[in-house]
Amino acid sequence: MNKKINWEAASNIAIVKYWGKRAHQLPINPSLSFTLSTCKTKTSIDWEQRSELDHLAFEFFYDGQRKPRFEYKLKSFFSQLETLYPEFKSVYLNIDSINSFPHSAGIASSASSMAALSLCMMTIQNEIKGVVMPQEEFLNKASYLARLGSGSACRSVYPIAAAWGESLNLPGSSDEYAIPMADSIHEDFKSIQDYIFIVSRAEKKVSSSAGHQLMERHPYREARIQQAQDHFNKLVPVLKTGDWTGFSKICETEALSLHGLMMSSYPSYILLEPESIHIINEIKLFQQESKLPITFTIDAGPNIHLLFPQRIQEEVDSWIQQSLSKYWDEEQIIFDDLGIDSKPGV
């Protein structure tokens, strides 16, 4: 194989959630997320151009082990890429990917893995064409590609925070790709810690793709679109000014609305577990008693993300010791924060 590249990209946690899509993986509402730093994917690709190929050919390995199940999923992603960039048709890829978090931690890896893969594909595309793109354009194109693989992955291309979905209140926003938000975030929010309480390591009972589909005929669809737009419009200035009270209201309502939408879909389903509710109640109690700037959010699963600025880390750690250590050992928590740039490896 004559060329090798690799990229790292981190997972993200949405504050305003993308839930429901239109054709071509376009969202029904704008969303905004924080990009994490501990939960990430590293993807390495050995690649070459082979004149005998008339379609992109590839093999996929996870940490050195061939994974045909993932290859099946990636086929449709690559066929979309070939339509956009016909030069990929004569490319052979040997892909090896690894997550920094355990496969079975209940943390979705599609965002970080599709972002890392899309960054690799943009690098390959530029090498084939002999183009050196400005960084901004490169990331914009990688975000577009990542969206085709997994909607929320388009936000993982950017560090700290990113917004995806057209909003009249955010110039430059688009349904087709995410835009970086790091420059519009108050310093206090940039230091946010995300303690992820792993309630279950099992694979989700209902996938996010199935959940998005159930929004098509959801009785609350229109109200949800309105709510998400309203939250998005409020969140943008709240992040800029560092208003924790405003932030936690949006954050918690979004988290519980997402799960409310699942519970009121047809057919309905529940991803939260009794322990999820228990932790939420403990967080709310701590929040009310301490008046500290802490809040929580939840992804499409039972795990709870506790968010707070770094300046109160000591208080939060001692609360966990005192109130939660009876039920939780630290191995069930992933200590994450907002951080790194996606970066090419050596």
Q: Provide the minimum distance between the beta carbon of 108 and ligand PMV in the complex, in angstroms, as a whole number.
A: 6
In the window 177-236, what residues touch ligand PMV (CB under 6 A)?
Answer: 208, 212
Preceding omega of 267 cis (within 30 degrees of 0): yes
- Residue number with CB closer to ligand PMV (80 or 323): 80
Here the tokens at position 176 are 């087709």
Q: In 108-154, which residue ranges form alpha helices assigned H by DSSP?
A: 110-129, 135-149
CA dist., res. 43 & res. 113, Å (int):
7
Q: Which stretch binds ligand PMV (CB under 6 A): 41-49, 55-63, 146-154, 317-325?
A: 146-154
Contact between 157 and ligand PMV per CB under 6 A: no
Q: Provide the minimum distance between the beta carbon of 207 and ligand PMV in the complex, in angstroms, as a whole number.
A: 8
Contact between 30 and ligand PMV per CB under 6 A: no
Contact between 20 and ligand PMV per CB under 6 A: no
The answer to whether 19 and 152 have CB atoms below 8 angstroms apart is no
- Residue number with CB closer to ligand PMV (197 or 319): 197
Contact between 152 and ligand PMV per CB under 6 A: yes
Please count the other Cβ atoms lying within 10 Å of the Cβ belonging to residue 322. Answer: 10
Q: Provide the minimum distance between the beta carbon of 321 and ligand PMV in the complex, in angstroms, as a whole number.
A: 30
Q: Which stretch binds ligand PMV (CB under 6 A): 34-42, 147-155, 230-238, 269-277?
A: 147-155
Among positions 6, 9, 10, 14, the unique one binding ligand PMV when judged by CB under 6 A: 14
Q: In the chain, which residue ranges form alpha helices assigned H by DSSP?
A: 68-84, 110-129, 135-149, 187-190, 208-214, 221-241, 244-263, 274-290, 313-319
Q: Work out the widest C-alpha separation in the chain, in whole angstroms.
A: 68
In order of 34, 290, 298, 303, the CA distances from 195 in angstroms are 13, 18, 11, 10
Residue 312 contacts by C-beta under 8 Å, 6 or more apart in sequence?
A: 292, 293, 294
Give the torsion sign (CA, 16, 19, 20, 26): positive
Q: Provide the minimum distance between the beta carbon of 186 and ligand PMV in the complex, in angstroms, as a whole number.
A: 21
Among positions 10, 11, 18, 161, the unique one binding ligand PMV when judged by CB under 6 A: 18
Among positions 91, 161, 236, 300, the unique one binding ligand PMV when judged by CB under 6 A: 300
Structural Rg of the chain based on CA atoms: 20
Contact between 175 and ligand PMV per CB under 6 A: no
- Residue number with CB closer to ligand PMV (228 or 238): 228
Among positions 151, 159, 165, 180, the unique one binding ligand PMV when judged by CB under 6 A: 151
In order of 4, 70, 144, 150, the CA distances from 138 in angstroms are 19, 26, 10, 18
- Residue number with CB closer to ligand PMV (95 or 255): 255
- Residue number with CB closer to ligand PMV (92 or 220): 220
Among positions 194, 299, 336, 337, the unique one binding ligand PMV when judged by CB under 6 A: 299
Which residues of this chain interact with ligand PMV, rule CB under 6 A?
A: 14, 17-19, 31, 33, 108, 110, 150-152, 208, 212, 258, 299-300
